[in-house]
Each structure stands twice: as C-alpha cells, then as structure tokens.
Structure 1
C-alpha cells in the first residue's frame, strides 16, 4: 500500500484515505464486520500493525535523506528545487509540494542537515510525530 509513497506530498485527505483503507484491510484480516461494532483501537491492538500515516511519513523522510546525500550530480535534487514558470497560477492556496513538508521541520538548509545522521534521525522523529498529531487532531475535529 505504501509503494512509491516516498515522493507523495502528504495531505490530510490522503492520510484519511490511507487510514480508512488500512482499517478496512485489518477488519478483513480478522474477519470482523462493521456490524460487529468493534472499535478501531481494538482492531489495531489485535493486528499489531503500525499506523500507515507514521509509516508513510517515515518513508518520505528517509527518501529526502537519500536524495540530499547523493553527490553524483543526479537530477533528483535539481527537480526538487525547480520552480515551474507556466503562465497564471490558479486561485486559492498553492498546492503543497513534497519538499514543503520536509522544510517545515528541517528548515531551508535541509540538505546540509541530512549530512549529519544524528541530527537527521532526531528530526525524523519530530516529522513523524508532527504528522501523527496533526492527523489525529483533524480526525477528532471531524467527529
């Protein structure tokens, strides 16, 4: 389910869809129907499967580290920094880019931060917690 998720731009809608799909798969693994009225927390406790939002955020962060450490002149880092200039922008908020999520935690010098593995791993914990807490708050607000 997380194939290629390293390069996804994380949004609340995407995380919500992934969590719904994960819940459906876990219920199918246990043979439990929604009519059985078993809470999601109980389902997660039984299956012991890690949260999909945490896993995707972790993969995203690891891919950023990989891209930042490459020194062979590959186009990966150049594509991340590229700003397309195509006519008019759409009305409303700019679309979230993959790199914007990384910069929120690691600031603008994230490529230098990725060179220090200790610092980068501590920032990874912050990044994953940020997404976990943000999505949990948004889910509670929707209820």
Structure 2
C-alpha cells in the first residue's frame, strides 16, 4: 500500500483520515480479503466524507487491513483515532479482538454515522426511534411558535415542515418501512398537527380531514416519494457504481429458518409491481431512471 503526500493543503477531518488522502492512493486489496460482491469482484472498503469502512469475512483479514491502513496513514503523518474506530461483527462466532499498535478496538452492536444508526439488523427500527426523539425535541423548542396568536396556521405548518418534519424524515429513503415503523412516524406526525390546530379532547377530527386541512400526505406516501427519488438518482449512476449495484446485490450465506424478513429490495419490488415496472429491463426501458425527476415538456 502506498500513500502520497497530500498537496491540496486540506486539513484532516474529525477522524484525522481524510478520504482524499486514501481514496486514490491507498489499496487494501492485496489478495482476496473483502466480501464477495459480484462473481468476479470483491468489495474491500467504502469511503465516506471523512471516514473509511473496511470489510472482511475473517478476523485475520480485518486485522491485516487495519494494519495496512494504520501504516499508510502514519507514512503521511496521520494517526487513527482509536477510540472513534469501532468493530461491528455480523453472524460470526469469532470474538478475537482487532488491534492498532497493541490497543484493542471497541466491539459494538450499533453505532451512529452521519446521523443514521447502523446495527446488525440494518438499523431502521432504532433509527426511527431516534428520529422521533430528535423531531420531538425540535418541536418542543418551537413551542412559542405553535402557541402564537399572531402567526397563521399556514405559516406554522410551513415552519413545522422545514424545522421538524425534515428532522423526522432524515435518511427515510433508506429505511426498511415495516407497518410498525410507518405507524410510529404517523402517530407522532398526527399528534404534532393536532397541537398546531389546537385540537384537544373531547374535540375529534379524522386523520384524513386533518391532512386535507393542512395540505399534508400520509407518512407511507411521503417516505415512498423520498425512496423513489433516491432510487431514480441511484439508477442514473454508472453500472459499475457500488451504490447502484447494491440494489440487486445478493449476499453470500444462508438465512435462518423461518419467515422471510421484509427487506428494502422486497419493498421496492412490491412498489414496482404496483407501477408495472421492472428495473431489470435495461436503461431507458423501465423508466425508473427518471424516478423523482420533474416531468419535462417536449415541443414539436
């Protein structure tokens, strides 16, 4: 592995490992030490804003990769923050520690990166709970606005959509949307809207009337719109882009006995059947590459 000296003058990120330094010049691919991605390709690592994710199937391979990254970083005067580096294991009985310079890296069951929770189950359930808690905090901080007599209901709803609903739906396009997740989001959403309209017991109003009065849409539809906007953007990527390939990636191994879990892939297939679409038809045929785009006018 080789890392050239940084010439851009950029400061290192919070992890002291700028992706710019490692992305083009660092290789963790010596030998087959990643996870099987395609029939001819292994996925060894992922690069993010200021972090690096190493992927391996065995503890020995992960230790070798970690040593390689530590050595490449030290060669250009960078140090890995050991207390920020975490190990997440999935479906393995091996508990041997991963070390950097003799220090053991922490094993975790879950962690937060760029505001989203990641765990061995995907993180959707935990992420939704965290999103609701953060949105509730944002809502309570604006209590004076909701109680204001000077602001119109329309203004309050616009503030709610920009300051609360955006917090609630952050990362929703990647959620595995079970009925329980949709219900949790919808209950909180409806509760906030009722308080904005100052509807309290024993006054009653149906959810459909509530949404119509405030020009809102159900949680399931809102999440679906975000999901397909993201999918449309992803399908416009190059065929060899990892982000695009992951939509149809089939992981190795065998699943446990029992009912199939509802994955994001299966959810998208259900949506596509409803729309009579198929993303395997090829570019320009399925129409999914334009999902999320505004319609264009064509003049003749």
Pairs within 5 Å for 1:9-88: 9-71=176-238, 73-86=240-253
User: What's the counterpart of residue 93 of structure 1?
Assistant: 259
User: Post-superposition shift, 1:57?
Assistant: 0.8
Tell me if structure 2 keeps the 8 A contact 1:27–1:33: yes
Aligned equivalents of 2:279, 2:215: Cα separation in 1: 33
Larger radius of gyration: 2
Q: Deviations over 1:14-35 (max 9, x none)?
A: 2222221211111121122243
SS at match of 2:202: helix
User: Post-superposition shift, 1:115?
Assistant: 3.4
Structure 1 pair 16/114, CA: closer, same or farther in 2 (3 Å)?
A: farther
Pairs within 5 Å for 1:120-135: 120=288
Q: Deviations over 1:86-141 (max 9, x none)?
A: 4x533322212212222234369415466358x449988xxxxxxxxxxxxxxxxx
Tell me if structure 1 keeps the 8 A contact 2:234–2:244: yes
User: What's the counterpart of residue 127 of structure 1?
Assistant: none
RMSD: 3.1
Q: In the alignment, does 2:284 pair up with 1:115? A: yes
Aligned equivalents of 2:290, 2:238: Cα separation in 1: 23
Q: Taking structure 1 as the reference length, what is the TM-score of the superposition?
A: 0.67
Tell me if structure 2 keeps the 8 A contact 1:68–1:111: no
Structure with the bigger RCO (C-alpha within 8 Å, sep 6+) is 1
Unmatched tracts of structure 1, length 5 or more: 125-143
User: What's the counterpart of residue 269 of structure 2?
Assistant: 103
Unmatched tracts of structure 2, length 5 or more: 1-167, 293-300
Q: Taking structure 2 as the reference length, what is the TM-score of the superposition?
A: 0.35
Question: Does 107-116 or 65-74 show the bigger shift?
Answer: 107-116
Aligned equivalents of 2:282, 2:201: Cα separation in 1: 45
Question: Does 93-102 or 70-79 show the bigger shift?
Answer: 70-79
Instruction: Name the structure where strand makes up a greater proportion of residues.
Output: 2
Structure 1 pair 91/68, CA: closer, same or farther in 2 (3 Å)?
A: same
- Report the count of equivalent residues: 122
Q: Deviations over 1:38-91 (max 9, x none)?
A: 3323322322222221111111112111111101732112222222234x5333
Tell me if structure 2 keeps the 8 A contact 1:67–1:76: yes
